[in-house]
Structure 1
Amino acid sequence: MDQRLKKRILIGVGVVLGFFLILLISLLVFRSSLLSYTVNRVVEKVENRYPVDFNIGKAEFNGLTSVILSDITLVPHGQPQLFRTDSVHATVGFRSLFKGRIVLRSLDVANGYLTAVKDGDQNNFAFLFKKDDTQPVDTTAKTDRNYGELLNRVLETAFDNVPDQVDFSNLNVTYTSPNRVIDVKMPFLTIEDGNIASQVSIRTDSLINNLIVKGTIDPRDYNIMASLYTADTSGIRLPYVKEKFDGIVAFDTLHLGLNEKRYRRDRLTVKGRAMVNNLLLNHEKLSDENIYLKEGAVDYVVSLGQNLFEVDSLTEVRVNKARANVYASYNNADSKIIALKVRTEALPANDFFESLPNGLFETLEGIQAEGKLQYKMNFHVNLDSVERVVFDSDLDASEDFRVVKWGKANLDKLKGPFMHTMYEYGKPIRTFMVGPSNPFYAPIGQISPYLRNAVLTAEDAGFYSHKGFHEEAFRQAIATNIKNREFVRGGSTISMQLVKNVFLTRKKTVSRKVEEAIIVWLIENLEIVSKNRMFEIYLNIIEWGPDVYGAKDASRFYFGKQPSELNLAESIFLTSIIPSPKRYRSSFDSYGNLRSWKSGYYRLIGGIMARRGLISQAEYENLQPNVRLYGRARDLIVTAPDADYEDTTEFELETIDMLGF
Structure 2
Amino acid sequence: MLQFAVSKVIQKVEAKYPAKLQIGSAKFLDLNTVMVQDIQFLPIDQPKLLQIDSVEATVSFRSLFLGRLVFKQFNVTNGTIDAIKQGATDNFSFLIKKKPTQAATADTVKKSNYGILLNRLIETVFENVPDGVNFQRLAVSLRNEGLFIGVKVPSLTIEDGVILSKAVIATDSVTNTMNIKGVVDPDDYLLSAKMYGDAPGGIEVPYIERKWGATLKFDTLSVSITGKEFKNGNLTVRGESSGYSLVLNHPKIADEDVFVKDGALKYVITLGDHYYSLDTLSEVRINKAVFYPQITYETRPNRKIGIKIDSPNIPANDLFQSMPPGLFDTFQGMQATGSFKYHMDFFVDMAQVDSLTFNSDLDAQNLSITNFGAQDFRKINQEFVHTVYENGKVLRTFPVGPSYAKYTPYAQISPYLKNSIITAEDPRFFTHKGFHEGAFRHSLITNIKEKSFVRGGSTISMQLVKNVFLTRKKTITRKVEEALIVWLIENLKLSDKQRMYEVYLNIIEWGPGIYGAKEAAQFYFQKLPSQLTLEEGMFLASIVPKPKMYRTYFDPYGNLRSYPRYFFKLIAGNMLKKGLISANDYNGMSTHVNLKGRAADFIIKIKPDTTMIMDTLQLAPIDLLD
Moved more, 285-294 or 593-602: 593-602
Partners in 2 of 1:136 and 1:374 — Cα distance? Answer: 52
Matches within 5 A, 1:467-482: 467-482=433-448
2:577 is aligned with 1:602:
no
Pairwise CA distance, 1:334: 0.8
Structure 2 counterpart of 1:7: none
2:582 is aligned with 1:616:
yes
Structure 1 counterpart of 2:313: 346
Pairwise CA distance, 1:418: 1.4
1:213 is aligned with what amino acid?
A: I
8 Å CA contact 1:144–1:307 kept in 2: the answer is: no
Post-superposition Cα deviations, 1:401-423, rounded to whole Å, max 9, x if no partner, equal 11100021111111111121222
8 Å CA contact 2:552–2:604 kept in 1: the answer is: no
Pairwise CA distance, 1:53: 2.3
Moved more, 87-96 or 559-568: 87-96
2:423 is aligned with what amino acid?
A: T
8 Å CA contact 2:217–2:247 kept in 1: the answer is: yes
Partners in 1 of 2:584 and 2:102 — Cα distance? Answer: 80
| 1:357 equivalent among 319, 324, 332 | 324
Pairwise CA distance, 1:236: 1.2
**Structure 1-normalised TM-score?**
0.88
Higher Rg of the two aligned structures: 1
Q: Is the alpha carbon distance of 1:607 and 1:133 closer, same or farther for their aligned partners in structure 2, counting shifts above 3 Å?
A: closer
Pairwise CA distance, 1:144: 6.5
Q: Secondary structure at the match of 2:495?
A: coil
Q: Is the alpha carbon distance of 1:97 and 1:43 closer, same or farther for their aligned partners in structure 2, counting shifts above 3 Å?
A: farther
Post-superposition Cα deviations, 1:99-125, rounded to whole Å, max 9, x if no partner, equal 886421101100101121113476322
**Structure 2 residue ranges without an equivalent (≥5):** 607-626
Partners in 2 of 1:578 and 1:36 — Cα distance? Answer: 83
Post-superposition Cα deviations, 1:302-332, rounded to whole Å, max 9, x if no partner, equal 1111111111110011000001111001011
Structure 2 counterpart of 1:253: 220
Structure 2 counterpart of 1:518: 484
2:346 is aligned with 1:393:
no
Q: Is the alpha carbon distance of 1:98 and 1:364 closer, same or farther for their aligned partners in structure 2, counting shifts above 3 Å?
A: closer
Partners in 2 of 1:225 and 1:51 — Cα distance? Answer: 38
Structure 1 counterpart of 2:371: 405
2:269 is aligned with 1:299:
no
Structure 2 counterpart of 1:537: 503
Moved more, 274-283 or 63-72: 63-72
| 2:291 equivalent among 294, 310, 324 | 324
Q: Is the alpha carbon distance of 1:354 and 1:380 closer, same or farther for their aligned partners in structure 2, counting shifts above 3 Å?
A: same
8 Å CA contact 2:111–2:117 kept in 1: the answer is: no
Structure 2 counterpart of 1:650: none
Matches within 5 A, 1:626-645: 626-637=592-603
Matches within 5 A, 1:269-284: 269-284=236-251
Q: Is the alpha carbon distance of 1:79 and 1:582 closer, same or farther for their aligned partners in structure 2, counting shifts above 3 Å?
A: same
| 1:147 equivalent among 109, 114, 125 | 114
8 Å CA contact 1:286–1:511 kept in 2: the answer is: yes
Q: Is the alpha carbon distance of 1:630 and 1:42 closer, same or farther for their aligned partners in structure 2, counting shifts above 3 Å?
A: same
1:582 is aligned with what amino acid?
A: K
Moved more, 183-192 or 589-598: 589-598
Q: Secondary structure at the match of 1:401?
A: strand
1:426 is aligned with what amino acid?
A: G
Moved more, 529-538 or 551-560: 551-560
Matches within 5 A, 1:4-83: 33=1, 35-83=2-50
Structure 2 counterpart of 1:483: 449
Q: Secondary structure at the match of 1:151?
A: helix
Partners in 1 of 2:94 and 2:250 — Cα distance? Answer: 37
8 Å CA contact 2:346–2:358 kept in 1: the answer is: yes
Q: Is the alpha carbon distance of 1:70 and 1:528 closer, same or farther for their aligned partners in structure 2, counting shifts above 3 Å?
A: same
Pairwise CA distance, 1:235: 1.9
Partners in 1 of 2:104 and 2:393 — Cα distance? Answer: 64
Pairwise CA distance, 1:429: 2.7
Structure 2 counterpart of 1:459: 425
Partners in 1 of 2:58 and 2:605 — Cα distance? Answer: 92
Pairwise CA distance, 1:38: 3.4
Q: Secondary structure at the match of 2:439?
A: helix
Higher relative contact order (CA 8 A, sep 6+): 2
Partners in 2 of 1:364 and 1:134 — Cα distance? Answer: 55
Partners in 2 of 1:194 and 1:638 — Cα distance? Answer: 75
Partners in 2 of 1:100 and 1:117 — Cα distance? Answer: 38
Partners in 2 of 1:635 and 1:73 — Cα distance? Answer: 79
Partners in 2 of 1:61 and 1:440 — Cα distance? Answer: 95
Moved more, 358-367 or 126-135: 126-135
Partners in 2 of 1:592 and 1:440 — Cα distance? Answer: 28
Equivalent pairs: percent with the same residue? 49
Partners in 1 of 2:427 and 2:338 — Cα distance? Answer: 33
| 2:525 equivalent among 531, 541, 559 | 559
1:316 is aligned with what amino acid?
A: E
Partners in 2 of 1:135 and 1:58 — Cα distance? Answer: 41
Equivalent residues, number = 606
2:389 is aligned with what amino acid?
A: Y
Post-superposition Cα deviations, 1:367-416, rounded to whole Å, max 9, x if no partner, equal 11100100111111111122221111111000x21110002111111111
8 Å CA contact 1:348–1:373 kept in 2: the answer is: yes
Partners in 2 of 1:256 and 1:443 — Cα distance? Answer: 59
Q: Secondary structure at the match of 1:371?
A: strand
2:51 is aligned with 1:84:
yes
Pairwise CA distance, 1:143: 6.8
8 Å CA contact 1:591–1:638 kept in 2: the answer is: no
Pairwise CA distance, 1:135: 9.9
Structure 1 counterpart of 2:73: 106
Partners in 2 of 1:635 and 1:206 — Cα distance? Answer: 53
8 Å CA contact 1:592–1:638 kept in 2: the answer is: no
Partners in 2 of 1:638 and 1:61 — Cα distance? Answer: 89
Alpha-carbon RMSD: 2.2
Moved more, 350-359 or 582-591: 582-591
Structure 2 counterpart of 1:649: none
2:414 is aligned with 1:440:
no
Q: Secondary structure at the match of 1:583?
A: helix
Structure 1 counterpart of 2:553: 587
Matches within 5 A, 1:117-136: 117-120=84-87, 123-130=90-97
8 Å CA contact 2:85–2:143 kept in 1: the answer is: yes
Q: Secondary structure at the match of 2:109?
A: coil
Partners in 1 of 2:119 and 2:592 — Cα distance? Answer: 70
Partners in 1 of 2:299 and 2:598 — Cα distance? Answer: 58
1:164 is aligned with what amino acid?
A: D
Q: Secondary structure at the match of 1:423?
A: strand
Pairwise CA distance, 1:231: 2.2
2:30 is aligned with what amino acid?
A: G
Post-superposition Cα deviations, 1:168-223, rounded to whole Å, max 9, x if no partner, equal 01111111133111111111000011110001111111211110001011112111
Q: Is the alpha carbon distance of 1:596 and 1:133 closer, same or farther for their aligned partners in structure 2, counting shifts above 3 Å?
A: closer
Structure 2 counterpart of 1:29: none
Partners in 2 of 1:500 and 1:129 — Cα distance? Answer: 50
Structure 2 counterpart of 1:658: none
| 1:509 equivalent among 459, 471, 475 | 475
8 Å CA contact 2:552–2:603 kept in 1: the answer is: no
8 Å CA contact 2:168–2:176 kept in 1: the answer is: yes
1:428 is aligned with what amino acid?
A: V
Q: Secondary structure at the match of 2:456?
A: coil
Partners in 2 of 1:349 and 1:52 — Cα distance? Answer: 65
Q: Is the alpha carbon distance of 1:374 and 1:234 closer, same or farther for their aligned partners in structure 2, counting shifts above 3 Å?
A: closer
Partners in 2 of 1:469 and 1:160 — Cα distance? Answer: 54
Q: Secondary structure at the match of 1:482?
A: helix
Pairwise CA distance, 1:589: 4.6
8 Å CA contact 1:271–1:300 kept in 2: the answer is: yes
**Structure 2-normalised TM-score?**
0.92
Moved more, 613-622 or 437-446: 613-622
Partners in 1 of 2:101 and 2:13 — Cα distance? Answer: 15
1:225 is aligned with what amino acid?
A: S
